[in-house]
Amino acid sequence: MDKFEELIKQLDGMSNEDRNKKHIELEKDCVCPICPTYTECAKNAAENMFCVRDKSEECITKEKGCMCPTCPLAAKYKIGVVFNFYCMRGKELNQRNL
C-alpha cells in the first residue's frame, strides 16, 4: 500500500466531521483552483481536490492544461504524474482501477 492509498484508507475510516476537517487541511496544498482547466462553475460548486474526491460533476468539460504534476498535494502523496486530469478523468484510485 503506497502513501496515497494509506491516506484514502485513513479518510474512509473517519467520521464525516473528521473527514471534512482533513479535507480542509489537505485543500491548503491543492492547486485545482489555479489550474487552467478549472472553471468558475467548479469554483461556485466548491469542487476541488479531484485526486481524492473524484471528477467534476458537470462543471469541467474541457481539458485545457493540467497542474497535477506540480501540485504540492500530489507531490506529498506521490501521485499526479502517471495519472492526472483528475477533474475530467476521475480520482487517482479510479484511474489506477483499484
Residue 54 lies in a domain: yes
Q: Mean of the per-residue pLDDT values for the chain?
A: 96
Helix (H) or strand (E) holding 97: none
pLDDT value for 80: 95
pLDDT digits (tens, 9 = 90+) for 44-84: 999 999 999 999 999 999 999 999 999 999 999 999 999 99
Residue 64 lies in a domain: yes
pLDDT value for 30: 97
54: containing domain:
16-96
pLDDT value for 98: 63
Residue 2 lies in a domain: no
Number of domains in the chain: 1
Residue 78 lies in a domain: yes
Q: Are the C-beta atoms of 8 and 93 separated by less than 8 Å? A: yes
